[in-house]
A and B are shown apart, each in its own frame.
Chain A
Amino acid sequence: MLEKKLAERVLLKALDSGADFAEIFAEKTRSSFLKVGDGKVDGASANLRLGVGVRVFKDDFCGYAYTNDLSEEGLLKAAMEAAIAIKSKKLISSVSLVSQEIENKHKCLILPLSRTSAEKADWLKQFSEYVYGADARVARVDMSQSSKMQDILVVNSEGLWVEDSRIRTRVGFSVKVEQDDKCFENFWTKGSLQGLEMIDEIDARSEAEQRVREAVEMLKAENCPAGKMPVVLAKEIGGVLFHEACGHSLEATAVAKNASVFCNRLGQKIASPFVTLIDDGTIPNQWGSTNVDDEGVKTQHNVLIEKGVLKGYLVDRFNGRRMNMLPTGSSRRESYEFVPTSRMNNTYIVSGESLPEDIIAATPNGIFAAQIKGGSVNTETGDFNFSVSRAYLIENGKITKPVKGAKLIGNGADILQKIDMVANDSAIKSGGQCGSVSGWVPVSYGTPTLRVSEMAVGGQK
């Protein structure tokens, strides 16, 4: 994307006014998006993104400028604008960039452009037919498929020159079922850091039937009871709760500004001993993985909580300065239009030793949360609120009736202490998008089946 000598000249320009670090992030991304509604293609678009961001540091100041004028003049202007607030003695007067070889852990077998959009549309239509065919009560199906090929280059004044290519494929659908005056909408997504082979691996008929079955079952759901009770979170889906209610509070973005409930608590017991929480950007082909982060640092297997003890935060270069910590390969951004900061990749709780069925059997009464639609968290306090789109009553140690309108209300720090059973079936849900200060980034999250001994459940009954 950039000539090495040109990159060096741009870095030197950025360092002119006394910055102690300068970096260039260049990106070229081709993406395509297809939509099939009611069995027909109702949207098709493609996108070519091209741009560069120049970032400088001087102590705890960060300057950033971005442009899609990739001429030397345009890049030098961006370098100057990034550093415009620094008025100090020049510290670095030479930069020598050395290419860093990185191992590609995320093999792509079928490039997105190797199939025509018409072929992808046909596959989506077939998938849509499976969903409609699964039950007469299916009223509307909307499917989407997207492909993205992002080539990035990160260079910095420490001599780093690293390139990475990220190919992502994502498929999703929503299905609305109706009966009499009742309706329910179910969702499904899958995303991978790989090519179209991901699509070939999907058993579309089986996914269609399962999601429709789940939706139809919810048509007979009664209102959820309210009160404090044990809550069993289904495998995979509990991950969104820990991503939102704990993960964000462990990002340096919040910790460096003393705006997290987990500030200054390293080495302390912050969760029950059943909890080991990992954020791992290295999992092969996982949706939230990358070879290097958006600062060019290799992604890592980061242990955040180990057997209940806080072991680490997710740290980017800039916040690492304030915290006096090394980066953890967790710096991410939606595109060159965003300043990168610490974000999660694939966040999950490690399997425990219980059997999932034993957890249900050991719970006389409570709620089984089978699918969480989403929620919100106040990072400063850890208070959260989640809407459970599919929930079931647990009565006498058995999952019984579906219930609707369930909300999980609580505090991240509090529920970490109340996890009292963790099953051996940890699994990761892919295809998520997390929105924060550095834009939308692909994330995955997971949990084994686990129980929170007591949580406030909001319901209508």
Chain B
Amino acid sequence: MEIQSFIDLLFVEARKQGAEQYQIKYAETERSELQIFEQKVSKQVAAKVQKLNLAVKVGDKVGHFVSECFESSEIPFIVSEAIANAKLLDCDEKFFFYDGQGEYKKLKPYAPLADKLKDFDVVAYLKKAEKLAYDADERIKQVIATAFHKKSNKLIMRNSLGLDLQEENKSASAYIFLSAQDESGVKSFSHAVCFDKPEDFEPKNLVMPAVEQVLAHLSPTEIVPQKTAVVFENKQFAGLLGEMADIFDAYEVDCGKSQLKGKIGEQIASSLVTIVDDPWLVGGFATEAFDGDGVPTKYKEVVKGGVLQTFLYGLSMADKHQCASTGNGSGAQGAKIFNFYLKNGETSFSELLALAENGVFIDKIKGLGVGFNAVTGDVSAAAEGFVIEKGKVTKPLKQFTFSCNIYQLLKDIRAIGNDLEFYCSQVGSPSVLVDNVTIVNS
């Protein structure tokens, strides 16, 4: 059945079953993937799927039903389930649909270079990448994966208050994952490119960062357990920032899962720290004109000069806290972030190392998701990196574990680099020098 007719019938049925307001989010996704292994195409995937999320409002509560089935016979069931879900809710929060008022910005999100991608020989690119990796050094043990992904997504959001929005985005990326071995053992690293720069179409720019990084980590030494200064590579600190983003979510604050309650206007981080949520960033991976509630997005500094400026709100939590939405609605109580980043400092990477003098440089973190406890702020994860001696990166280190508390870490930031990067992600950061990080070995 045509999607437009399906949506029309859904709305008719919602009215018939007594829903006061109703809304749909419809997403159509096409994706493809190609992998090379040992110079042969080993896997190819193509897909097109549609998903529809119906939200209905009964009183001040909203219930949802997500369907991948577009048969008209399912419509009464879909609507009745969504209404039943709305009637179940008895939480303190009220829910709102948005009527589409205000200015929706015309934005320039990240997009792969369409002209170059049109005639791009993916198979030749990946084969060359794999070969380059093996040819680069005899210590390269295995190119475990070499893959190309392409995706396009179309979103429609429409409701009974007159909201009618549409958004389309496209992405493309390539990824290499490889291991190297010498007498000391095996190390593995990966690298990705997103084809938004002409140089991304050169296989060597996919391969060599991974090769150089994996080789640099061979023959590692054991670290001495210590509490020390750590320079986090920009990509790794972005990972930490992404994990901690929820502490700024008004709903998490309300649920006691963030320790920032009542701290707006207070110094919660080093005065060097400014954290931005910018849905309008040119070329950003989450550059979007409207949020999950359909509200126009806004630029905001969440932390400025170390002082907490705002929490992140959608319509529901903004109503509860008697303030305006910050344009971070997710469609439920929780908040959604856009291009979320730590603002550049003025220190070059080599100056960060010089300031650290002695310590550890971390350029790989694993297991951050399970190693982070939002309630206490404690974080610990496996890491790899190098010794910093006399202000220079020296010996590679065997896998170790670092731990700290993110609330303290924000305060212990001593210097911020000027190398802000997003690395195929919506969360970005420059490299950062932090004091008092606990390092333990195996």
Contact with B along A364-380 (1 / 0, CB 8 A): 00000000011110101
Q: Cβ of A78: which chain B residues have Cβ within 8 Å of it?
A: 46
A37, B332: Cβ atoms under 8 Å? Answer: no
The stretch among B76-84, B107-115, B154-162 that forms the contact with chain A is B76-84
With A47-B65, A139-B256 as known contacts, state yes or no: A378 contacts B438, CB within 8 Å: no
With A41-B91, A46-B65, A176-B375 as known contacts, state yes or no: A65 contacts B255, CB within 8 Å: no
B142, A226: Cβ atoms under 8 Å? Answer: no
Q: A188 interface residue, CB < 8 Å from B?
A: no
A458, B440: Cβ atoms under 8 Å? Answer: yes
How many residues does chain B have at the interface if contact means C-beta atoms less than 8 Å apart? 68
Q: Cβ of B197: which chain A residues have Cβ within 8 Å of it?
A: none
Q: Cβ of A51: which chain B residues have Cβ within 8 Å of it?
A: 49, 68
Give A121 to B84 CA distance when docked, in angstroms. Answer: 12
Give A28 to B74 CA distance when docked, in angstroms. Answer: 13
By beta carbon, the residue of chain A nearest B92 is: A40
Q: B392 interface residue, CB < 8 Å from A?
A: no
Q: Cβ of B66: which chain A residues have Cβ within 8 Å of it?
A: 45-48
B86 to chain A, nearest CB (A): 8
Q: Cβ of A28: which chain B residues have Cβ within 8 Å of it?
A: 69
Q: Cβ of B82: which chain A residues have Cβ within 8 Å of it?
A: 46
B69, A48: Cβ atoms under 8 Å? Answer: yes
Q: Cβ of A105: which chain B residues have Cβ within 8 Å of it?
A: none
By beta carbon, the residue of chain A nearest B438 is: A460
B321 to chain A, nearest CB (A): 16
Q: Cβ of B84: which chain A residues have Cβ within 8 Å of it?
A: 116-118
The stretch among A301-309, A403-411, A442-450 that forms the contact with chain B is A403-411
Give A81 to B47 CA distance when docked, in angstroms. Answer: 9
A3 to chain B, nearest CB (A): 16
Give A46 to B366 CA distance when docked, in angstroms. Answer: 33
Contact of A40 among B64, B85, B90, B375 (CB under 8 A): B90
Within 8 A of B (CB), among A5-54: 28, 34, 37-38, 40-51
Contact of A387 among B185, B188, B370 (CB under 8 A): B370
A380, B186: Cβ atoms under 8 Å? Answer: yes
With A37-B91, A69-B48, A387-B380 as known contacts, state yes or no: A45 contacts B85, CB within 8 Å: yes
Give A452 to B66 CA distance when docked, in angstroms. Answer: 47
The stretch among A55-63, A160-168, A190-198, A281-289 that forms the contact with chain B is A55-63
B47, A67: Cβ atoms under 8 Å? Answer: yes
B85, A85: Cβ atoms under 8 Å? Answer: no
With A67-B48, A84-B44 as known contacts, state yes or no: A118 contacts B88, CB within 8 Å: yes
With A48-B74, A51-B68, A456-B442 as known contacts, state yes or no: A380 contacts B91, CB within 8 Å: no
Q: A339 interface residue, CB < 8 Å from B?
A: yes
A440 to chain B, nearest CB (A): 13
Give A82 to B48 CA distance when docked, in angstroms. Answer: 12
Give A185 to B90 CA distance when docked, in angstroms. Answer: 24
Q: Cβ of A60: which chain B residues have Cβ within 8 Å of it?
A: 37, 40, 42
Q: Cβ of B142: which chain A residues have Cβ within 8 Å of it?
A: 257-259, 380
Q: B205 interface residue, CB < 8 Å from A?
A: no
B56 to chain A, nearest CB (A): 12
Contact of A42 among B89, B256, B440 (CB under 8 A): B89
Give A138 to B260 CA distance when docked, in angstroms. Answer: 20
Q: A459 interface residue, CB < 8 Å from B?
A: yes
A63, B44: Cβ atoms under 8 Å? Answer: yes
B255, A226: Cβ atoms under 8 Å? Answer: no
By beta carbon, the residue of chain A nearest B48 is: A67
B440, A46: Cβ atoms under 8 Å? Answer: no
B49, A44: Cβ atoms under 8 Å? Answer: no
Q: A381 interface residue, CB < 8 Å from B?
A: yes
Contact with B along A430-444 (1 / 0, CB 8 A): 000000000000000
Q: Cβ of B42: which chain A residues have Cβ within 8 Å of it?
A: 60-62
By beta carbon, the residue of chain A nearest B180 is: A380
Within 8 A of A (CB), among B46-71: 46-50, 63-70
Within 8 A of A (CB), among B367-394: 367, 369-371, 373, 375-376, 378, 380-382
Contact with B along A64-88 (1 / 0, CB 8 A): 1111110000000010011011000
Give A383 to B89 CA distance when docked, in angstroms. Answer: 45
Contact of A61 among B43, B68, B256, B380 (CB under 8 A): B43
B179, B256, B332, B380, most chain A CB atoms within 10 A = B380
Contact of A407 among B69, B90, B380 (CB under 8 A): B380
A460, B48: Cβ atoms under 8 Å? Answer: no
Q: Cβ of A81: which chain B residues have Cβ within 8 Å of it?
A: 46
Q: A142 interface residue, CB < 8 Å from B?
A: yes
Q: A229 interface residue, CB < 8 Å from B?
A: no
Q: Cβ of B179: which chain A residues have Cβ within 8 Å of it?
A: 259, 380
Q: A337 interface residue, CB < 8 Å from B?
A: yes
Q: Cβ of A410: which chain B residues have Cβ within 8 Å of it?
A: 442
With A48-B66, A140-B256, A410-B442 as known contacts, state yes or no: A41 contacts B187, CB within 8 Å: no
B192 to chain A, nearest CB (A): 16
B21 to chain A, nearest CB (A): 17
Give A384 to B86 CA distance when docked, in angstroms. Answer: 44
A337, B49: Cβ atoms under 8 Å? Answer: yes
Give A117 to B144 CA distance when docked, in angstroms. Answer: 46
Q: Cβ of B88: which chain A residues have Cβ within 8 Å of it?
A: 34, 41, 44, 117-118, 121
With A45-B65, A47-B65, A68-B50 as known contacts, state yes or no: A183 contacts B375, CB within 8 Å: yes
Within 8 A of B (CB), among A321-359: 337, 339
Q: B333 interface residue, CB < 8 Å from A?
A: yes
Q: Cβ of B185: which chain A residues have Cβ within 8 Å of it?
A: 381
By beta carbon, the residue of chain B nearest A37 is: B255
B188, A226: Cβ atoms under 8 Å? Answer: no
Q: Cβ of A68: which chain B residues have Cβ within 8 Å of it?
A: 49-50, 68-70
Beyond the given A46-B64, A380-B142, A456-B442, could you list 8 further A-B residue pairs with CB under 8 A, ordered by the A residue number?
Answer: A38-B91, A42-B89, A45-B85, A64-B46, A82-B46, A381-B185, A385-B367, A458-B401
A-B contact pairs, 10 of them (CB 8 A): A40-B91, A44-B86, A48-B67, A65-B45, A117-B88, A374-B369, A385-B380, A405-B403, A458-B380, A458-B440
Closest 4 pairs between A and B when the two form their complex, measured CB to CB: A376-B367, A374-B370, A458-B440, A385-B382
Interface residue ranges, B against A (CB under 8 Å): 37, 40-50, 63-70, 74, 78, 81-82, 84-93, 142, 144-145, 179, 185-188, 225, 255-257, 332-333, 366-367, 369-371, 373, 375-376, 378, 380-382, 399-401, 403, 438, 440-442
